[in-house]
Structure 1
Amino acid sequence: MEKNKSITRNVIFKVLLSTFNIIVPLIIGPYAYRVIGDDHMGMINHADAIYNYFYIFATFGIYQYGLREMSRIRNDKEKLRTVFTSLFVIGVIANIIVLSIFIIFTNMEYGGTIKYPVLMLYSINIFANVFYIEWANEALENYDFIAIKTIIVRILYLVCLFAFVRTEKDYIIYTLIINAYTLLNYFVSFIYIKKRIGFDFKGIKLNIHIKYLLMSLVMGNANMLYIQLDRVMLGSYVNDRSVAYYTLSSYITSMVNTLILSVVYVTIPRLANIIAKDDQDGYHNLLNKVCENLFAFIFPAALGIFVVAREIVLIYGGAKYVDTIPVLQGFALFMITSAFESVFTNQILYVKRRERRLVLFILAAGIMNLIFNITLIKLGIFSAVTAIYTTALANFLLISMELIYSIFILKVKLHLFRLEKLKYLIYSLMFIPITLGIRMITNRVVPVFFIAVAVNVLYYLVLLYITKDKVLRAFISKFFKKAHSI
């Protein structure tokens, strides 16, 4: 295979893609939510949550398992082709079975209802998943192709949305566009990687992968016991509108979270490769460096969203979504727990092949989340707000189990609670009095948002500069080095 690409280059393309994936929703999100309305959007969100439970089994854990295994053998073309073909065949079988069950379920449970056509359109997504091989591109660190391809397809999606979705009645067209975009995006990647790796059906081995895929299935889809569980239960026990509030908050924070967690995901292939070489010092150095970079962004982002949640909701969704404000604040805090969980799950337990233990941790915390939700329903206080806070609590329990196992059993030299990492949280807490002070001057939504963001960002950067922060200095150094080379 080709020479290793620099992590900096990979991060640049990953961040470019994530940034674009933030900009596009910032454009289409307010448009779609306002045009389609909270009732229809809530119905689509609930249908999406139902579909996701089937999609989880259609993916069969191939993404994370394939990413790790192909990262380990990416320099051996023959093994690479064999593993790729085996996982592709398993994916085809899984998707055909799940698609059949999904269609039967939809006809039996929702035939003749208003949700029926929406759910049937989601069957396109399950079919599209046959061609989902982005794990192979990421294992080979083809982040340049992934970024450019996705941006082009996203632009086509954007054009179709504004051209065909004009009124509340166009919610069916909106659902069709979403699913058609997924199919096109996956198919282009399939054509590209098929030419780069190719198939070898003579050497395929399916049985040796099944056990690990089943564990990866649970590990990689923890959402089914957390965010997805909340959405389904809100739609079943509260109403579709509460699903819209919950999903909008999740949507907003996930845009930012995806960008920040690029730092984590882009290093998984490299960490897996380092472990395969038994370079423990290299592993621990890269792991701690990634955590420091991650915390430098996740704490200010989460606290930033928390303090301007009111302005974000009113600008993004309008006054009809005002009840989303406390939900978004809950999701902002959930972002922090997600960052910690992502490090333990993806960069420690999974790359060290501790799937079995990880699955037990995820199931235990997920069951606790289910118990929390049932308790809230029995008490009559289950809502979008209480759901996200109990989910954050369940996530905290998961992190605690992962932390104890990683530090005391695996002996991982991860220094999470040193001042050099936690200082970013301390610095970010000042966003609260700063934003409150701005609101004392003006309470107008748009001015408060832009002034608060500008002042808080400026304060944070100046403080990092004054304290000679390593992350900021490294970024400035790389920026000027690139600029000088140009």
Structure 2
Amino acid sequence: MSNSFKIHSVKYNFIMNMILRMSSFIFPMITFPYVSRVLLAVGNGKIAFAASVINYFSLFASLGIPTYGVKVCAQVRDDKTNLSRTVHELLFINFICMIISYIVFIIMMFVVPEFSNNSTLLWINSISILLSVAGIEWFYQSIEQYDYITFRNIAFKVLSILLMFLFVHDKSDYIIYGAITILGTVGSNILNIIKLPKYITLKKIGNYCIKKHIKPIIFLFLYSAATMIYTNLDTVMLGFISGDIQVGYYNAAIKLKNILVSVVTALGSVLMPRISYYLTNNFKEKFYEMIKKSFEFIFLIAIPLATYFYFEADSLIIFLAGNGYEQAIPVMRAIIPSIIFIGIGSVTAWQLLIPLGKETYTVLGAIMGGLVDLIINILLIPTYGAIGAAIGTLVAEMVVVSVHLIVLRNELKHISIKKDIIKIFISLIITMFCYYVLINCFSFINIFVRLVITFIVFFGVYLLILFFTRENIIYEYSTVIFGKILHK
């Protein structure tokens, strides 16, 4: 039985995903300045600590299925019966893991003193563990329904912002804000289950084979677990060693970094199901063409973003978080270069190693990165606090990417982007010259106005130079847009 849902073009999916990622950029710009000033560093630190702890339990509840599900469902999406059977099998595994994870969470709540001190927030955040089965975002990604994913997520983000302004007015309202955050992030999961019968058959099909999924799921779980060590362990260790205030400073920098990461990795999440489909059908030329564009996009976006936000860290932190967060400025500068390595790693892991069936090496890279992060945290956090944690994360990301590149050295011979990288660096050098002239002229003006002007000029000059040097992606999309405008 074939499926009849529409598969949109990569460009359409990319636009939808960029809208989603930009909403992830814009909405925090609205919420972060407000909650930073209302809840202060201590309140934000408590919320960040609770979220980081729950992330570990949610990780086990999902057990690598969010990544594996995209890959395996994309391979059989043209056959409704096989697709339905695959979803049933993965949901069964997901449900069992969720039950085990929540039982362990309940036990830990009564055993770990630090958990009982933050019990209310942790119980509220634990709802995300229970809703992990209902999420099935991986299914909608596998059939490339990015318009549905985008509009649903934006609707719940708008709702959470309205609730924030209605109910969060004092530093004691951090528990209310924690609940609103959960609603905004996982509340929409319920809609995913309701919409599921439109695409698959829910009734029993038979001929189930759970066993075949276990090995790849466990490998991806190990990869996700090791990755989470150096993305969440920093916050947890800071909470235990340095207290809520240092967590608050670190969280301020991390929020900005995560916003940029969501923009940098936007294309990768769109391409993974398409890449898996190409490999299954042996379309090698299309596969390598996609990978080349992915690397071009990462360097094109990540390098200038890291550069701009490094130099504007002081203005951004003061504008977004307010006074009292000055100690977050060096933290942001220490961690912001990591978005370049995270971007490269998103291509090497999600678009090369996993589709090629080399999940083992993603685990190896993540474990090595996690161990490096753990060692650096132990050495630096007691003395340097949040800055030490930021350095640990940066070095860990560099280690992960290094492992991936060594493993993929033969596959990377098919991909050449040297000319484009040279164009990017030439454009960036000229852009930095214009930027320095500009900040000397506008150093006396309001922070917000300064940020707007410098951002527009920085990226305007950068993109303009890339257009005139005919950088592949910029020139291709610009000519299409200009062609449509002139045609009208």
TM-score bin (small chain): over 0.9
The partner residue of 2:472 within 453, 458, 470 is 470
Q: Look up the equivalent residue of 1:414 and give its one-letter code.
A: I
Alignment-derived partner of residue 340 in structure 2: 336
Q: Look up the equivalent residue of 2:10 and give its one-letter code.
A: I
Counterpart secondary structure, 1:347: helix
Alignment-derived partner of residue 424 in structure 1: 424
Counterpart secondary structure, 1:337: helix
Describe how 1:41-440 pairs up with structure 2 within 5 A. Answer: 41-110=44-113, 113-201=116-204, 202-377=206-381, 380-408=382-410, 410=411, 413-416=414-417, 418-430=418-430, 432-440=432-440
Consecutive unaligned residues of structure 1, counting only runs of 5 or more, are none
Alignment-derived partner of residue 21 in structure 1: 24
Please say if residues 428 and 460 of structure 1, whose CA atoms lie closer than 8 Å, have aligned partners that are also in contact. Answer: yes
Consecutive unaligned residues of structure 2, counting only runs of 5 or more, are none
Please say if residues 81 and 200 of structure 1, whose CA atoms lie closer than 8 Å, have aligned partners that are also in contact. Answer: no
Number of residue pairs the alignment of both structures matches: 482
Report the Cα distance in structure 1 between the residues aligned to 2:403 and 2:48, rounded to whole angstroms: 32
C-alpha deviation, 1:194, in angstroms: 3.3
Please say if residues 225 and 366 of structure 1, whose CA atoms lie closer than 8 Å, have aligned partners that are also in contact. Answer: yes
Matched, 1:453 2:455: yes
Please say if residues 71 and 270 of structure 1, whose CA atoms lie closer than 8 Å, have aligned partners that are also in contact. Answer: yes
C-alpha deviation, 1:112, in angstroms: 8.9
Q: Look up the equivalent residue of 1:245 and give its one-letter code.
A: Y
Report the Cα distance in structure 2 between the residues aligned to 1:184 and 1:110, rounded to whole angstroms: 29
Relative to structure 1, is the Cα distance of residues 5 and 93 closer, same or farther in structure 2, using a 3 angstrom cutoff? same
Report the Cα distance in structure 2 between the residues aligned to 1:388 and 1:443, rounded to whole angstroms: 31
Q: Look up the equivalent residue of 1:136 and give its one-letter code.
A: F
Q: Look up the equivalent residue of 1:248 and give its one-letter code.
A: A
Report the Cα distance in structure 1 between the residues aligned to 2:203 and 2:213, rounded to whole angstroms: 16
Give the TM-score normalised by structure 2.
Answer: 0.94
C-alpha deviation, 1:484, in angstroms: 6.7
C-alpha deviation, 1:221, in angstroms: 4.0
Q: Look up the equivalent residue of 2:375 and give its one-letter code.
A: I
Deviations 1:277-315 (A, max 9, x none): 122222111110221122211111111111111111001
Counterpart secondary structure, 2:383: coil
* Cα RMSD after superposing both structures: 2.0
Report the Cα distance in structure 2 between the residues aligned to 1:479 and 1:215, rounded to whole angstroms: 42
Deviations 1:105-136 (A, max 9, x none): 12322489541111111111111112010100
Report the Cα distance in structure 1 between the residues aligned to 2:485 and 2:135, rounded to whole angstroms: 36
Report the Cα distance in structure 2 between the residues aligned to 1:345 and 1:240, rounded to whole angstroms: 33
Report the Cα distance in structure 2 between the residues aligned to 1:332 and 1:480, rounded to whole angstroms: 34
Relative to structure 1, is the Cα distance of residues 466 and 477 closer, same or farther in structure 2, using a 3 angstrom cutoff? closer
Report the Cα distance in structure 1 between the residues aligned to 2:379 and 2:472, rounded to whole angstroms: 46
Give the TM-score normalised by structure 1.
Answer: 0.94
Relative to structure 1, is the Cα distance of residues 485 and 150 closer, same or farther in structure 2, using a 3 angstrom cutoff? farther
Counterpart secondary structure, 2:187: helix
Report the Cα distance in structure 1 between the residues aligned to 2:71 and 2:245, rounded to whole angstroms: 39
Alignment-derived partner of residue 34 in structure 2: 31
Report the Cα distance in structure 2 between the residues aligned to 1:310 and 1:30, rounded to whole angstroms: 14
Please say if residues 64 and 218 of structure 2, whose CA atoms lie closer than 8 Å, have aligned partners that are also in contact. Answer: yes
Report the Cα distance in structure 2 between the residues aligned to 1:14 and 1:5, rounded to whole angstroms: 12
Relative to structure 1, is the Cα distance of residues 223 and 250 closer, same or farther in structure 2, using a 3 angstrom cutoff? farther
Please say if residues 432 and 458 of structure 2, whose CA atoms lie closer than 8 Å, have aligned partners that are also in contact. Answer: no
Q: Look up the equivalent residue of 1:315 and give its one-letter code.
A: F
Relative to structure 1, is the Cα distance of residues 204 and 453 closer, same or farther in structure 2, using a 3 angstrom cutoff? same
Report the Cα distance in structure 1 between the residues aligned to 2:266 and 2:325, rounded to whole angstroms: 29
Please say if residues 71 and 269 of structure 1, whose CA atoms lie closer than 8 Å, have aligned partners that are also in contact. Answer: yes
Report the Cα distance in structure 2 between the residues aligned to 1:81 and 1:35, rounded to whole angstroms: 47
Report the Cα distance in structure 2 between the residues aligned to 1:317 and 1:265, rounded to whole angstroms: 30
Please say if residues 103 and 120 of structure 1, whose CA atoms lie closer than 8 Å, have aligned partners that are also in contact. Answer: no
Report the Cα distance in structure 1 between the residues aligned to 2:196 and 2:256, rounded to whole angstroms: 31
Report the Cα distance in structure 2 between the residues aligned to 1:348 and 1:91, rounded to whole angstroms: 25
Report the Cα distance in structure 2 between the residues aligned to 1:367 and 1:186, rounded to whole angstroms: 33
Q: Look up the equivalent residue of 1:385 and give its one-letter code.
A: I
Counterpart secondary structure, 2:53: helix
Please say if residues 95 and 130 of structure 1, whose CA atoms lie closer than 8 Å, have aligned partners that are also in contact. Answer: yes
Deviations 1:404-460 (A, max 9, x none): 11013x5652335x1312432443355555444444332443343223212212221
Please say if residues 47 and 118 of structure 1, whose CA atoms lie closer than 8 Å, have aligned partners that are also in contact. Answer: yes
Farther-moved stretch of structure 1 (336-345 vs 354-363) = 354-363
What percent identity do the matched residue pairs reach?
Answer: 26
Report the Cα distance in structure 1 between the residues aligned to 2:149 and 2:131, rounded to whole angstroms: 17
